Each structure stands twice: as structure tokens, then as C-alpha cells.
Amino acid sequence: IEAPTVRENPRSDAPGVGSPDSSVKVVVRIRPVSGHGKTEDHIVKKVSSDSLSVGDRKFTFTSVLGPESSQEDVFNLIGVPLVQSSLAGYNASIVSYGQTGTGKTFTMWGPQSAMVDAHSISSYQGIVPRIFQMLFAEISKKQKCLEENNISYQCRCSFLEIYNEQIIDLLNPSQRNLQIHDDAKSGFYVENLTDEYVNNIDDVTQILITGLSNRKVGATSVHSKSSRSHIIFTCTLESWCKGTQSKNFSSSKMSKISLVDLAGLDKHKPDGVGERTEDGRDVKQSLAKLGKLINILSGVARAGEDQKIPYMDSPLTHLLKDTLGGNAKATYLCSISPDKRDKAGTLSTLRFGELAKEIQNKAVINEI
Ligand code: ADP
């Protein structure tokens, strides 16, 4: 995002902000050196489990994962609590943010080859397939040991892309320009978006592979294939639990897992020239709107006259309503490069993380 002006500790009085049990966490992952990178060109250093330095500036977040961190480390830190929250009935989300080439795709999805065999865990497998392996394993465990309580689950998945401010169904790409329907009672949903029932990890893997292969990619200065759109994978989990004659009760819960991979900005050009391509400019504008909202939620900026938070400013901010100051347990996952040449992008990403840290969500269990 365009670097917002950061106030020192905007809400330092707020209890628990950014603490491990707060509803909002900010985790930074530093990617390893690429093949041609030289160690002396590295200006980012992990200082402790929750801090890092860029030159002589120090930043603190909920957690910092260094270049040596594995996909499993990321999953244990973020994925396991997400699955546990979702089974308990909370909405839970991960928002992956960072400059192009810093490892957002690698961390979230992993290479497609590692996704295909859904039953074995390859060390490269991303956090999303791992989340669903754990989710279905937990569901099957719960169903076995709580049989007498008649617990049943139903799971639906959708996958969408926001490209040039249009919502596209990644499971049926001929469905473009989908509209968001929002009302105070039933919340918001995307009209006509495919929402498929899934029963096991194979069903989810199939959806992930289809959706990711339909994602828009474009040529940039860093990689020949770089994501030029935001994508959101959503899984809605409903559970019903009926008691036995001796324990007479019933309850039902619904939770939503939202996994968001934001488009990356191109490398900042040293000459200050901005994005050259049309979709690059669109990505910039879209992330700027997200930045504006985060500025307001973090208390750095004020909302408009009527004090309404401008969620409707863009499809992205609208669809992230639960995550941004809403009822979800949210993790902002910021990916950065250690390289000196990426300093501007790294600082911009860390500023985003500093602001996200101040957002306060009110996570609640969704009984239905
Ligand atoms: P982005 O999605 O942010 O544009 P990618 O996920 O495509 O970036 O990562 C760029 C390159 O770096 C890819 O070749 C990827 O495999 C590699 N990479 C990124 N993070 C790691 C990591 N933690 N370990 C090993 N390789 C990584």
C-alpha cells in the first residue's frame, strides 16, 4: 500500500492488542535468500520470536518467522489455531500481504505438485492444504468419539477472484462481475457464486487446483508469472450436535474460514516510476483503498462525516468486513524479502503490519 503516515503507538492504551490471544495477529515471514542473492545485501534480520530489524529500525509483531522457517512452522503457528477456532464456531481468516516475489503464494498454497497428493504432507505444502487436512481429520475424530452425541458437519467451499474491481467466480470463470448482496440481518454474500459441498480433503484439493489454475497472472518485472488479482477461498462449516435421552440438548454453529491472498505490488522502481501496466495500477488503487480502511480502523485516520467505516469502497474491503474490525479471528501474514534492493517494499509491508496490529475485532461464536 502507499505508505500511510504512522502515528507512534496509536492505541497503546488498548488491552491485549497484538498479544497472542487477541483476535488479531500479525505474523511476518522473511523469505530465504534467492539463488543469486548475496548475504551482504541483506538488511532484514530476525531479532527475536516477535521482532525484526531493517537496518537500524526495529519492528515488533505477534510473531516473526525467519528465513529458516518451514511450511510446517507457519502451519503450527497460524493454521492449527485457525482450525481449532473454526471448529469452536468462530469465523477465522488469514490475509496474505506482501510485495511480489516475497513468497505469498508459496506460503499460502505451496507448489501445485505438493497439493496434488492430498493425503501425504510434502515439506513444501502450503498452509491452505494443511488446514483442510487437519480440519477433516479433526471432524472425523470428533464424529467417532462423540457418536453418542450425534454430531454432524457440513462443509461448503467457494473460490473467487477480484480483478479490476470485478468479482469473478474461480470455479466458473464465465461468471464475471458478480455482485455482493448485503443486509443487516443475513450479512453479506456474493450472488450466484458457486458454493460446493465438500466431504473430504480430495474434494477441497480439486477445488483449490481448479481455482488456482483459473487465477489471473501477468508479466511483471520480477517474475514472468505474478498474481495480478486478489483471491479469496472461503469454507463455510456448519455443525449440529444433538444430545441423547440422558443428555438432552441440541446446538448448531456456523463458522467461516476465509483465506485471502492479496495481489502483490511490483518491485518499487528506484526512479520512482509507478506501475506501468493497467492491472498494476488497479492493484495499487485497490490496495490503497484497503490501506485507507486499515488506517481508519487502527485509529490513525478518521472515518467520514457520518463516522461510517467505508467497507463499500471496493469489493475487497466489503468482502473482508468480518476480518477488518469484524467478528473474525484474523491473522495478517506479511511476507518480506531480506534483500536491500527490496527495502521500499519491505518497509511498506511492515507499515501495513503495524497498522493491522491495531485493528480490534470482536470474535464471537456463531450459534445458529
Ligand atoms: P509471491 O506470491 O509473493 O509473488 P512466490 O510465492 O511466487 O512469491 O515466491 C517467489 C519464489 O520464491 C518462488 O520460486 C518460491 O518457490 C520461492 N520461495 C518463496 N518463499 C520461499 C520459502 N520460504 N522457501 C523456499 N522458497 C521460497
Average pLDDT over residues 109-130: 82
**Residue 338: is its pLDDT beyond 90?**
yes
Q: How confident is the model at residue 228 (pLDDT cuts 50, 70, 90)?
A: confident
Average pLDDT over residues 259-287: 70
**Residue 242: is its pLDDT beyond 70?**
yes
Q: For ligand 1, is residue 18 a contact (CB within 6 Å)? A: no
Q: For ligand 1, is residue 220 a contact (CB within 6 Å)? A: no
**Residue 303: is its pLDDT beyond 60?**
yes
Q: For ligand 1, is residue 98 a contact (CB within 6 Å)? A: yes
Write the secondary structure of 159-198 as one string of H (helix), E (strand) and C (coil): EEEEECCEEEECCCCCCCCCCEEEECCCEEEECCCCCEEE
DSSP code of residue 267 = P
Beta strands 187-190; 180-183: pairing state: antiparallel
Closest CA to 67 of 345, 350, 335: 335
CA distance linking residue 188 with residue 161, whole number of Å: 17
Separation of CA 34 and ligand 1 centre (Å): 9
| pLDDT (0 to 100) of residue 167 | 96
| pLDDT (0 to 100) of residue 75 | 97
pLDDT tens digits, one per residue of 110-120: 987 777 666 66
Lowest mean pLDDT among 238-252, 315-329, 332-346: 238-252
**Residue 16: is its pLDDT beyond 70?**
no
Q: For ligand 1, is residue 101 a contact (CB within 6 Å)? A: yes
Q: How confident is the model at residue 223 (pLDDT cuts 50, 70, 90)?
A: very low
Average pLDDT over residues 330-348: 95
Which CATH architecture does the domain made up of 24-356 adopt? 3-Layer(aba) Sandwich (3.40)
Q: How confident is the model at residue 278 (pLDDT cuts 50, 70, 90)?
A: low
- Please give the share of the chain, as a percent, with pLDDT higher than 70: 79
Lowest mean pLDDT among 14-23, 104-113, 285-294: 14-23
Residue with cell 472515518: 303
Three cell numbers, residue 271: 526512479
Strand segments, DSSP code E, in the chain are 24-30, 44-48, 51-54, 57-60, 63-65, 92-98, 151-163, 166-169, 180-183, 187-190, 196-198, 217-218, 226-227, 230-242, 250-261, 329-336
Q: How confident is the model at residue 151 (pLDDT cuts 50, 70, 90)?
A: confident
Q: For ligand 1, is residue 31 a contact (CB within 6 Å)? A: yes
Q: Is 140 left (phi over 0), alpha (psi -120 to 50) or beta?
A: alpha
Q: Is 155 left (phi over 0), alpha (psi -120 to 50) or beta?
A: beta
Among positive and negative, which fits the CA dihedral 135, 32, 96, 160?
Answer: negative
What is the position in ligand 1's atom list of the atom closest to the CA of 98?
3
- From atom 17 of ligand 1, which residue's Cα is the shortest distance away? 103
Range ranked top by mean pLDDT from 36-50, 157-171, 214-228, 270-284: 157-171
pLDDT tens digits, one per residue of 174-204: 988 999 998 877 788 999 999 999 999 999 9
